[in-house]
């Protein structure tokens, strides 16, 4: 049969082929996978924390640990960076290691500067530099038990107000527990350091303390009854010299200086209350824990008044104005730079607190053993009731 269909005008369009990509798609395994381990990051964090701990101990003990802290910190930074570059899964320890290591390095630099300052000035308390231009000396007869030879003393590098009853730099208590009276010295003077006349009369006991010093408090708690008995009986006098070098352990509050200045204020304005003020400042409920600011000036006044009775307005304002804080700091500097007056060993120096020197001989026994201290007093010729 003949084809009766007419030709169609419809044309089938050619198939469209998508263009080829200009670049190959990323392969799912082309990028390096994060490593499953986290040992480097943890090691970095641990070393960073060790660096911080080391520099912290260095600040507390004033020892040259800054170098070790810096080394630990640098290693922590390097390990932390390596851990991040290697894309270990646990990033937090690595970041913590880098941060703590960096802090440790910076803190170690600060510690190194601090240790250098302390080393150059053993009695450094915040900027009182000594520039002596003259010396004061006295010679003692070693055969009389006074000292082992001549001693020289520098002027006190201080231009402020000197407290009364502190002519030799300390406060001396006799039979009635009242300070031995003396006028305030002129700024720049050498503390009056008369030669000790031993053999007759009461023995002389010299006690260096820092009211921030916990070992001083232990000495006080153990030996206060013995000291009070020999003072009250007239067998000995006690001179207290207050130092302030533990300001560095007071969180910036200068507690040692303020407490020492408070005693100087009371010795000047209300001397009859000096002994109770001294014992109060060494009591457990007043001395602050380590690395804390301690009582403020008004709280110091309240603590002393609780034991000694009301202080005069002049004594109170002297304490709150911190009138004798500069003197206490300057005298601390002087004490570390000069020998202990009238020591049998004329070269004896103050190296820490407490330091008790009886008739020129330093006590080197346990600070908390009253029987040992009593025996030492008797060995130096002190009659202990």
pLDDT at 125 over 60: no
What DSSP string runs through 122-166? TT-SSS--------EEE---GGGTS-SS-EEEPPP---SPPPTT-
Predicted pLDDT at 312: 98
The more confidently predicted of residues 355 and 100 is: 355
CB 190 within 8 A of CB 272: no
Tell me how far apart the terminal alpha carbons of the chain are, to the nearest angstrom. Answer: 155
Predicted pLDDT at 124: 37
Phi, psi dihedral angles at 315 (to 5 degrees) = -65, -40
Q: Domain limits at 284?
A: 136-379
Domain end call among 86, 120, 154: 120
Predicted pLDDT at 121: 41
Is the same domain home to 167 and 114?
Answer: no
> Model confidence over 193-207: pLDDT tens digits?
767 777 778 999 999
Q: How many domains does the chain have?
A: 2
CB 129 within 8 A of CB 153: no
**Average pLDDT of span 78-105:** 71
Is the same domain home to 208 and 103?
Answer: no
Predicted pLDDT at 301: 99
**Average pLDDT of span 65-77:** 70
pLDDT at 4 over 70: no
pLDDT at 136 over 80: no
Reduced 3-state DSSP string for 194-253: CCCCCCCCCEEEEEEECCCCHHHHHHHHHHHHHHHHHHHCCCEEEEEEECCHHHHHCCCC
Is the same domain home to 318 and 366?
Answer: yes
pLDDT at 107 over 80: no
State the pairing for strand pair 236-242/171-173. antiparallel
Residue 177 lies inside a defined structural domain of this protein: yes
pLDDT at 16 over 90: no
Is the same domain home to 290 and 354?
Answer: yes
Is the same domain home to 70 and 208?
Answer: no
C-alpha to C-alpha distances, 28 to 16, 37, 85, 164, nearest whole angstrom = 29, 22, 21, 87
CATH (domain of 314): 3.40.30.10
Residue 129 lies inside a defined structural domain of this protein: no
Residue 26 lies inside a defined structural domain of this protein: no
Predicted pLDDT at 137: 43
Residue 285 lies inside a defined structural domain of this protein: yes
Predicted pLDDT at 82: 72
Is the same domain home to 80 and 165?
Answer: no
Is the same domain home to 95 and 153?
Answer: no
Give CA–CA dist 44/78, Å, rounded. 8
Give CA–CA dist 316/321, Å, rounded. 8
> Model confidence over 343-369: pLDDT tens digits?
999 999 999 999 999 999 999 999 999
pLDDT at 165 over 80: yes
Q: Which helix or strand (DSSP H or E) is residue 362 part of?
A: strand 361-362
Q: Which of 70-84, 199-213, 221-235 has the lowest mean pLDDT?
A: 70-84
Predicted pLDDT at 310: 98
Is the same domain home to 116 and 142?
Answer: no
Residue 125 lies inside a defined structural domain of this protein: no
pTM: 0.65
Residue 368 lies inside a defined structural domain of this protein: yes
What's the mean per-residue pLDDT of the chain?
Answer: 80
C-alpha to C-alpha distances, 39 to 43, 73, 88, nearest whole angstrom = 6, 17, 9
Is the same domain home to 206 and 109?
Answer: no
Predicted pLDDT at 346: 94
Is the same domain home to 93 and 219?
Answer: no
Residue 256 lies inside a defined structural domain of this protein: yes
Is the same domain home to 372 and 239?
Answer: yes
> Model confidence over 261-271: pLDDT tens digits?
999 999 999 99
Q: Which of 7-11, 113-117, 285-289 has the lowest mean pLDDT?
A: 7-11
pLDDT at 217 over 80: yes
CB 246 within 8 A of CB 281: no
The fraction of the chain above a pLDDT of 90, given in percent, is: 53
> Model confidence over 18-65: pLDDT tens digits?
555 554 455 444 444 445 556 766 775 676 677 666 656 555 444 455
The more confidently predicted of residues 226 and 34 is: 226
Where do the DSSP E strands lie in the chain?
A: 136-138, 151-153, 171-173, 203-209, 236-242, 355-358, 361-362
């Amino acid at each position: 049969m003949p084809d009766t269909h007419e030709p169609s005008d419809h044309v089938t369009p050619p198939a469209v082929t998508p263009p080829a990509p200009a670049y190959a798609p990323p392969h799912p395994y082309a990028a390096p996978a994060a490593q499953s381990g986290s040992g480097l990051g943890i090691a970095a964090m641990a070393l960073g924390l060790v660096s911080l701990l080391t520099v912290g101990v260095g600040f507390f003990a004033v020892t040259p640990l800054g170098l070790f802290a810096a080394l630990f910190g640098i290693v922590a930074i390097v390990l932390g960076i390596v851990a991040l570059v290697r894309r270990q899964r646990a990033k937090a320890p690595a970041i913590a290691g880098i941060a703590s290591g960096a802090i440790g390095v910076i803190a170690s630099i600060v510690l190194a500067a601090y240790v250098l300052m302390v080393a150059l000035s053993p009695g450094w308390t915040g900027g009182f530099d000594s520039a002596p231009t003259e010396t004061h000396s006295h010679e003692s007869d070693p055969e009389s038990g006074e000292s082992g030879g001549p001693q020289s003393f520098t002027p006190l590098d201080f231009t402020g107000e000197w407290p009364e009853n502190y002519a030799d730099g300390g406060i001396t208590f006799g039979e009635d527990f009242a300070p031995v009276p003396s006028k305030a010295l002129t700024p720049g003077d050498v503390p009056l350091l008369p030669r000790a006349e031993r053999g007759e009369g009461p023995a002389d006991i010299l006690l260096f303390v820092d009211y921030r010093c916990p070992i001083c408090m232990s000495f006080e708690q153990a030996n206060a009854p013995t000291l009070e008995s020999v003072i009250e009986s007239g067998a000995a006098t006690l001179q207290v010299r207050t130092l302030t070098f533990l300001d560095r352990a007071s969180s910036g509050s200068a507690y040692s200086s303020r407490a020492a200045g408070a005693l100087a204020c009371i010795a000047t304005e209300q001397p009859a209350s000096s002994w109770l003020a001294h014992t109060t400042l060494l009591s457990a409920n007043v001395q602050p824990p380590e690395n804390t600011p301690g009582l403020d000036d008004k709280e110091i006044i309240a603590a002393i008044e609780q034991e000694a009775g009301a202080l005069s307005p002049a004594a109170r304002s002297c304490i709150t104005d911190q009138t004798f804080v500069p003197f206490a700091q300057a005298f601390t500097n002087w004490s570390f730079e000069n020998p202990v007056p009238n020591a049998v060993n004329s070269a004896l120096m103050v190296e820490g607190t407490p330091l008790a020197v009886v008739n020129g001989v330093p006590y080197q026994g346990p600070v908390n053993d009253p029987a040992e201290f009593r025996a030492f007093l008797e060995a130096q010729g002190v009659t202990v009731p």
